[in-house]
Amino acid sequence: MIVRYARVGGRVQPPDNEGLQVEDDGSFSMWRSIAPAVGRFSGKLPPTELSQLRLEAQKAAGGGDLSRQPTMNGSAERFSLDGATATMGSNDDVDGAWGALISHVRRLLGELVSMPEAAVGLELGDGARSASLVHMGAKPIAVDMSKLSIRAVLWGAGFTKLGDWSAPVKPEPAQAEAAGSWNVPLLFDHGLKTGKNKVLHVYVTFALSENGQKAEVRVEHTPPVPA
């Protein structure tokens, strides 16, 4: 194992619940709960990236343990290496021995969402008038939609919130195994008028289970908003 990472907690529900472990041979396993796709992700890092990560982990281990108090109501992170551990608030800026590794792992957490193993994503269609949950990856995953809710927020230039819509949705059946072409259209009658210089963000909250472990998740569609 080169590095094992976890980010948990936070004031806003569902909590952050993210994890990544990279092995010596470059294989990785990642869990994402608040992301553009949620669930299990796996694969192998390219050799150059792996070499870089290994060097950064060695440097961090040389720096010894690091402990910082997270911000109140914020989520917390732990980076575990062979022989050293760092804990801190998520988004704490860290330099020194740990700095490069921490930045790198946080970046990987976003990039590796492109390699799903058993995950659920969100697809918008019809000019953001329809939304569906879709299965991603080669393996199945258990989905609990009994408390599913969907929210759409319309943003304008300058980060101005133009509209905010939300609704509970109860797809049938509420419990499902997502696999293959699994696709669940969601009632999405948001009534928000999209257009030039307007960006729609969509959040769908539900739950996933893996090996009997249930986790609340939020799949997000959050393209950039013009400044």
Angle made by CA atoms 210, 208, 89, in degrees to the nearest 5: 90
- Residue 163's nearest CA partner among 193, 124, 206 is 193
8 A C-beta contact, residue 16 and residue 75: yes
* Residue nearer to other proteins on the CB measure, 185 or 188: 188
* Residue nearer to other proteins on the CB measure, 195 or 224: 224
Q: Which two tokens stand for residue 62?
A: 């040389």
8 A C-beta contact, residue 28 and residue 20: yes
Pick the piece of the chain touching other proteins (CB under 8 A) from 12-20, 56-64, 115-123, 180-188: 12-20
In the complex, what is the shortest distance from the CB of residue 87 to other proteins, in angstroms, rounded to a whole number? 6
Helix axis angle for 47-62 and 99-111, nearest 10°, is 140
Q: How many residues does the chain have?
A: 227
Neighbours of 219 (CB within 10 A): 26
* Residue nearer to other proteins on the CB measure, 46 or 177: 177
> Hey, which residues between 155 and 214 contact other proteins (CB under 8 A)?
155, 158-161, 164, 201, 207-210, 213-214
In the complex, what is the shortest distance from the CB of residue 159 to other proteins, in angstroms, rounded to a whole number? 4
> Hey, which residues between 82 and 121 contact other proteins (CB under 8 A)?
87, 89, 91, 93
Give the residue, chosen from 2, 18, 121, 136, that forms a contact with other proteins under the rule CB under 8 A.
18
Q: 215 forms bridges with which residues in the sheet?
A: 208
Applying CB under 8 A, the site for other proteins has a residue count of 51
In the complex, what is the shortest distance from the CB of residue 14 to other proteins, in angstroms, rounded to a whole number? 7
* Residue nearer to other proteins on the CB measure, 49 or 210: 210
Within 8 A by CB and 6+ apart from 206, the residues are 133, 143, 144, 145, 147, 148, 149, 216, 217, 219
CA distance 56 to 65: 15
Task: For residue 226, give the 3-state DSSP assignment.
Answer: coil
Give the residue, chosen from 72, 127, 172, 189, that forms a contact with other proteins under the rule CB under 8 A.
72
In the complex, what is the shortest distance from the CB of residue 179 to other proteins, in angstroms, rounded to a whole number? 18
* Residue nearer to other proteins on the CB measure, 160 or 175: 160
Can you give the binding site for other proteins, defined by CB under 8 A? 6, 8-15, 17-19, 31, 33-34, 70-78, 80, 87, 89, 91, 93, 151, 153, 155, 158-161, 164, 201, 207-210, 213-216, 220, 222, 224-225, 227
